[in-house]
Each structure stands twice: as structure tokens, then as C-alpha cells.
Amino acid sequence: MTTIYNFSAGPAVLPKEVLQQAAAEMLDWHGSGMSVMEMSHRGAEFMSIMDAAQRDLRDLLAIPENYKILFLQGGGLGENAIVPMNLMGRRPDAPVDFIHTGSWSGKSIKEAQKYATVNVAASAASNGFTAVPARESWQLSKDAAYVHLCTNETIDGVEYHFVPDVAEQTGGAPIVADMSSHILSRVIDVSAYGVIFGGAQKNIGPAGLTLVIVREDLLGHALPVCPSAFDWKIVADNGSMYNTPPTYAIYIAGLVFQWLKRQGGVAAMEAQNIAKATLLYDYLDSTDFYENRVAKECRSRMNVPFFLKDESLNAEFLTAAKAQGLLQLKGHKSVGGMRASIYNAMPLAGVQALVGFMHEFASAHS
Amino acid sequence: MTTIYNFSAGPAVLPKEVLQQAAAEMLDWHGSGMSVMEMSHRGAEFMSIMDAAQRDLRDLLAIPENYKILFLQGGGLGENAIVPMNLMGRRPDAPVDFIHTGSWSGKSIKEAQKYATVNVAASAASNGFTAVPARESWQLSKDAAYVHLCTNETIDGVEYHFVPDVAEQTGGAPIVADMSSHILSRVIDVSAYGVIFGGAQKNIGPAGLTLVIVREDLLGHALPVCPSAFDWKIVADNGSMYNTPPTYAIYIAGLVFQWLKRQGGVAAMEAQNIAKATLLYDYLDSTDFYENRVAKECRSRMNVPFFLKDESLNAEFLTAAKAQGLLQLKGHKSVGGMRASIYNAMPLAGVQALVGFMHEFASAHS
């Protein structure tokens, strides 16, 4: 049977070991006689799963003690509303600064306008969202409530490879970072951010779980219209159990965290991710048959959009790729072309197989 | 090995066949080479799972064509805010009528006050939430925006065994029913309701999925502060894929729907549920050792709270039950005592085992 490599942008490939363990434990978790799906979230069994998941994540990202880890629901799009609902009670009249780098930050801007005055401090629209605007060009507000970044644009394939210093110009505004599609793929300094959030369905686990990492002083400032179930303070005070959490998704995320630790942690994953991305970008840059349009210093290690120069071959490319077990390579409809998402769980062998296929396909059609 | 029966109030027991199928398909769904967790929600494979789940649910509950089925996130507690956020744009100044029958309707009342003027039209507080207030006693508003019921109080064990007529007194207000803990346990006339909602973690599937069934004319009236990801109109227009849905939870729910059809559908489940509840309540009524305090005509078929007359035996009861494989019988802390939740997936044999144990325990301690 052909080895399958799944390049979906999310929900996305998960480590095979994790799926094998989940299958083995499906009917009876650790002799409890229950599936994890059947456990009361307040029972000792699930509490141990929850605690381990939080502890492992704190280890993996070296999350300081003054940050809370929250497990929520509603995904990145939900957080686009939930973030301003939680933060704007702190300084209701202050503007929120956004850096517009692609589809996801664009959606965040639109939603935040329902709850706050938005200032687009910089936009990459003029270059077709192929680069992060240079830090010097950002027109930050001197009294910003917070500065919102999407540190990896899943659709546009643009990633921040720096942490911008915004405190001085904004009077100490915290950075809110949507890290949905690259969290756990690289070492980060959590203390540089006020809030980090992300949908789980890329590097963490199944869709339906949302991660929020928030500095404690930013809790307790929700707008009165914020639903209790999404009020970070209430969620934090209840250990992410104010409402029934997505227990099975948390269990799978916990298995992924254990797997990451077995791989050597986030630093080891980052080295592997650099190797994978370098292999693919180097090939793209070596040929005239394909192209990636993102500025080199802003290219995403996770999401690699690329185009066939002759787009009339797109359908044939996708069919031939699928026949070789290379799945879900079609680009997002807003960008077109192809996209290979190469998250943590994608092995180097998968990228090698992709590059091998691309080379063959190019040779056959040149 | 002892057969395990799990009486958790939710997350709760799931059909063994469903778990077996999920385990078998975990690494490779129908030859796709992917786990369901790894599939793009917009790909053909997951779309077929989503479509089948919706179709089967529509069949099972005979949901009329002018009702939309929405798969959301955030649970019942989330909906407590999301319901008024979606409906109050229709008639912003109208009061919302609530019938207060226990813990869950109490939480709904508190949350709705953030978005609307609330009228508690009837309350069972004076009887300790052991009965649904008689319909004649309800003080409905003649211009209510909607009437909210919790048709099965999970914690208090009180269930509506009638559909109240509210239209005439309220000028046609729709009924919003929180059916979290008894949906799919009995035949219902969906057309009697404007909105039906429920967390999945009792009779539907894993925690993290929320079901909303809404009459089409009630869509499109969201308050401006309603997050887009929870705006029913946006969710409906996008086939529950405005944001990435909890795909694996929907897959499991779909397997549960197929299992329900194999059991003969909701009418057959209802007959089975009546048999299970009758067995347990008849035993409780036959002994002085235990008691259930809910009015007979309002007793829940799903959640059966009961007390040992001698509460000093509680810990011993729970330990002895666990030793016989009868799990999670401890009552909710707000009520005390015991609670047996006997959802669809609890077989008659489980209730027989429970009654047998209770009888033995009573004999040994009388």
C-alpha cells in the first residue's frame, strides 16, 4: 500500500503513535472500564488527563507561572470576538492596533471592529500579503489597548521570524498573537506576549479545542456582553471547567504533548521543521516550473503556498499527487495554486516524497 | 472481569458498538489513509460524514424542512448567552419569559439578564425544584420575545412530560428548549419549538459539540455584539463550517445516530427508556431505605436523583457500588445524595444491575 502523506492545512496530520494509542485506549482507558469520551470531566480519571496536559504544555513552551493556560472552544474565529470582549473592559476607549498580514489577521480586524476602535497600524495588502510589513513602518497608537498579530498566516504562508518591540511606542500595550498554525513548531518567549491563542487543529490536536495562554494581569477585564463561558477570568478560576470542556480533544492534545516531549521537545521539532521547510523552499527556488511568492525572510515553515507557472496543469498535478499518496495539496481558494502544510506531525520523509514527486512531474512536463 | 456500568451525568456512556467502530477506523477511515481527526473539514470525506450526520438526525427527530440543524461549540452554558444574542435583535425591548425548574434553567436566567429583560414566569424554588410548576400558574408576558424552558433538569431530575401551549398568552412567542440531557430519548414534535439546543455529551456524543435546531424565521436577528462564529444565520449560511467545526465529535455523533437507527429509532429508544426508568423508580418507591423526592408526574427518565434515608451510609454505598462496576453514582454537590443517569446508551441490564445492588445493599443494612 502507498504511504499516505496528508498536507492538509487543518484539521491536519497527527502523529501516528498518538492515533495508535487513542485507538488502543478507546474502550478502556488505563483499566477504568471507560472510554475517555465517557468520563465525567470532574472525575479523578479525567482530572489526571487534564492536569498532565496542562503541565506538559507548560513544560514544552516554558510558560511562566504568571500565565494561565485555558482550554476553550470556538476556534480562532471565535477568539477574534472573545479576545476584544475580554480585553476591552480594561481600557474601553483605547484603540486596538492590528498588523494586517493576510487572511487571518484580516478576519480578526473585521470582528474586532464590533467591540473596539481598530487602527490598522500596518498592512501588507499592497504587496499581496507576501511579507510582514517592516517594523519601522508600523504606525502604532501611543495608547493602544493591545497590538494584535497573526504570527503565521496559514493561507498566505507568511510567518513572523521576529518578536516586534511595541511596548515603548504604545505605552506598554501587550501583544496578542494568533499562533493557531505555528504554535509548538518553534521555541517562543511566552513572556514577550500578553495573550497567545490558537485553534488546536494544526499542531495541537483535533478541531474543537482552542488554546489561550494569558498573562494573569489581563484577566478580569471582560466587557459586560462577554458570555460567561468565554470570560477568561471565569474559565481560569474554574480550571477550564466552567462549562464541560471538550474532553476527548484535550486527551488527544495531551497525547500530542507527550509525543512532542519524546521527540525532544519544541527545540528539536524546530530543527526538524527548519530542515523540512528548507528542503521544500530550496527546491522551489531551484526550478522555473514552480514558484513561491513570499519574501524569503517571511516564509512560513508550516504552510508553503506555491504555484505551477503553467496553471493549466493544476488539476493534473493534484490527480497525480493523490495517486502517489500525497493528499490535500490544493491551495486555499482565495490564493489559488497549491499549498503544502508541513506541521510537526509531517515527517521529513513526507516532504522528501513531495519534492521527489514535484521534480518528476516537472521533468515530465518541461 | 466485572461488567462496567457508567451512570455519569455527562460526559456519559456511549454505545459500545460506536466506540468499537471508532477504534477500528481511527488510523484509516474507509480506506482514505487518514483518521477523521486529520481530514480537512472541507474535503469530500468529511463532507460526507457531516451530510450523513445531519440527514440521520433529521430523520430521527423528524425535523421539518423549515428548521436548520447547526453544529456549534460552547455547550449549554455557551448557548445561555448565544440564544439571547441571536434572538433579541428581533424584538430588543420585549421581555424573555423563563420557567425556573432547577439548576440549569437557573443558570440560563442569570446569563440571559446580560442581554435582555428577564421575567421569571414561574418558579419551582418553593418546592425545592421537585416539580414543573403547573402550566396554569405561569405568569407569561403578553409580548414575550420567547419562552425559555429546560425540558430536562439534569441535576434536579425533573422532566417535562408535556409541551406547554404558550402562543396564545404571549402573542405567538416561540419556545426555546434546552434539551441537553434528554434529546433523542423520546419522540418530540419539533414544530412545537422555535429553538431546541443541547450539549452533545449526554445522548449525542462527545463533549465539545453543541446542537442547535432553529426555525428559519428566527435566523438573522442577532444583536450586534454576537460573535460571528456564534451567529446562527452565519453558521447556517455556511453549513456549520463558518469556523472549523469539531469534526471528530461530529463523526462520533454521526455514529451514534446510525446506532440509534439500528435500535429502531427514537420511538424504540423511548420505549426502552420508559422500561429502564420504571424499573428504577418502582424499586425506589417500594422501599423505605431510599427515596426520590421528585413529583411522580415530573420525574426524569434520564437522570434519577435518589437519597439513602441514612445518609451516613453514602460513602459505603458508593464504594460498594464501584466494587461491583457501578460507576459515577454520586449526586451533584448542589443536591447531594446519589444520581443515576440512564441515557440511551445505558442498557436495561445496567439498570437491573443497579437495582439488584441497591436491594442487596439495603438488605445488608436494614
Q: H or E segment at B4?
A: none
**Tens digits of residue pLDDT in B156-180:** 999 999 999 999 999 999 999 999 9
B288 labeled binding residue: no
Q: What percent of chain A has pLDDT over 90?
A: 99
**Tens digits of residue pLDDT in B96-152:** 999 999 999 999 999 999 999 999 999 999 999 999 999 999 999 999 999 999 999
Residue type, B83: V
pLDDT at B358 over 70: yes
Cβ separation of B252 and A37 shorter than 8 Å? yes
* Residues of chain A neighbouring B78 (CB-CB closer than 8 A): 73-74, 227, 229-230, 243
- Under 8 Å between Cβ of A227 and A208: no
Residue among B357, B337, B280 at smallest CA distance from B3? B357
Instruction: Specify the pLDDT at position B331.
Output: 95
Cα separation of B76 and A227, whole Å?
A: 12
Q: Where are the beta strands (DSSP E) in B29-81?
A: 67-72
A202 classed as catalytic: yes
**Tens digits of residue pLDDT in A136-188:** 999 999 999 999 999 999 999 999 999 999 999 999 999 999 999 999 999 99
Instruction: Specify the pLDDT at position A180.
Output: 97
pLDDT at B2 over 90: no
Q: How large is the average pLDDT for residues A300-316?
A: 98
pLDDT at B1 over 90: no
**Which positions ≥6 away from B27 have C-beta within 8 Å?**
A16, A19, A20, A23, B35
pLDDT at A1 over 70: no
The catalytic position among A156, A178, A231, A276 is A178
Q: How large is the average pLDDT for residues B22-34?
A: 97
Q: How large is the average pLDDT for residues A4-15?
A: 96
Cα separation of B96 and B81, whole Å?
A: 13
Phi, psi of A175 (to 5 degrees): -90, 130
Distance (Å) of CA B145 to CA B91, B140, B166, B174, B180: 6, 11, 12, 8, 22
Cβ atoms within 10 Å, residue A2:
11
Cβ separation of B11 and A243 shorter than 8 Å? no
Region of residue B325 (phi > 0: left; psi between -120 and 50: alpha; otherwise: beta): left
Q: How large is the average pLDDT for residues A300-327?
A: 97
**Which positions ≥6 away from A238 have C-beta within 8 Å?**
none
Q: Grid cell 480537512 — which residue?
A: B40
- Alpha-carbon gap: B264 to the closest alpha carbon of chain A (Å): 23
Cβ-nearest to B22 among A26, A207, A227: A26
The catalytic position among B29, B56, B202, B233 is B202
* Residues of chain A neighbouring B43 (CB-CB closer than 8 A): 8, 328
Instruction: Indicate if ipTM > 0.90.
Output: yes
pLDDT at A198 over 80: yes
Distance (Å) of CA B22 to CA A19, A245, B17: 11, 21, 9
Task: Give every strand in the sheet of B118-123, ordered side by side.
Answer: B67-72, B210-215, B195-199, B175-178, B146-150, B96-100, B118-123
**Tens digits of residue pLDDT in A85-129:** 999 999 999 999 999 999 999 999 999 999 999 999 999 999 999
Contacts of residues A192-197 at CB distance under 8 Å and 24 or more positions apart, as own/partner, are A192/A163, A194/A146, A194/A218, A195/A83, A195/A87, A195/A146, A197/A76, A197/A79, A197/A83
* Residues of chain A neighbouring B11 (CB-CB closer than 8 A): 37-41, 244, 247
The catalytic position among A29, A104, A232, A259 is A104
The catalytic position among A202, A233, A276, A330 is A202
Cβ separation of B327 and A26 shorter than 8 Å? no
CA-nearest residue to A206 within chain B is B37
Cα separation of A107 and A85, whole Å?
A: 16
- Alpha-carbon gap: B355 to the closest alpha carbon of chain A (Å): 20
- Under 8 Å between Cβ of B18 and B340: no
Instruction: Specify the pLDDT at position A356.
Output: 98
The pLDDT confidence band at residue B337, using thresholds 50, 70 and 90, is very high
What is the set of domains in chain B, with CATH numbers?
17-262 (3.40.640.10), 265-364 (3.90.1150.10)
Instruction: Specify the pLDDT at position A2.
Output: 83
Partners of B299 in the beta sheet? Answer: B158
- Average pLDDT score, chain A: 97
Cβ separation of A249 and B78 shorter than 8 Å? no
Instruction: Specify the pLDDT at position A45.
Output: 96
Phi, psi of B280 (to 5 degrees): -75, -45
- At A231 the three-state DSSP class reads coil
Q: Where are the beta strands (DSSP E) in chain B?
A: 5-6, 67-72, 96-100, 118-123, 146-150, 152-153, 158-159, 175-178, 195-199, 210-215, 290-291, 303-308, 326-327, 338-341
**Tens digits of residue pLDDT in B229-283:** 999 999 999 999 999 999 999 999 999 999 999 999 999 999 999 999 999 999 9
B97 classed as catalytic: no
- Average pLDDT score, chain B: 97
Residue type, A280: L
Q: How large is the average pLDDT for residues B74-101?
A: 97
Q: How large is the average pLDDT for residues B309-325?
A: 97
Give the three cell numbers for residue A244: 464541560
Cα separation of A316 and B75, whole Å?
A: 44
Q: How large is the average pLDDT for residues B360-365?
A: 97
Q: How large is the average pLDDT for residues A260-279?
A: 98
Q: How large is the average pLDDT for residues A68-80?
A: 97
Give the three cell numbers for residue A283: 527546491
Cβ separation of A74 and B242 shorter than 8 Å? no
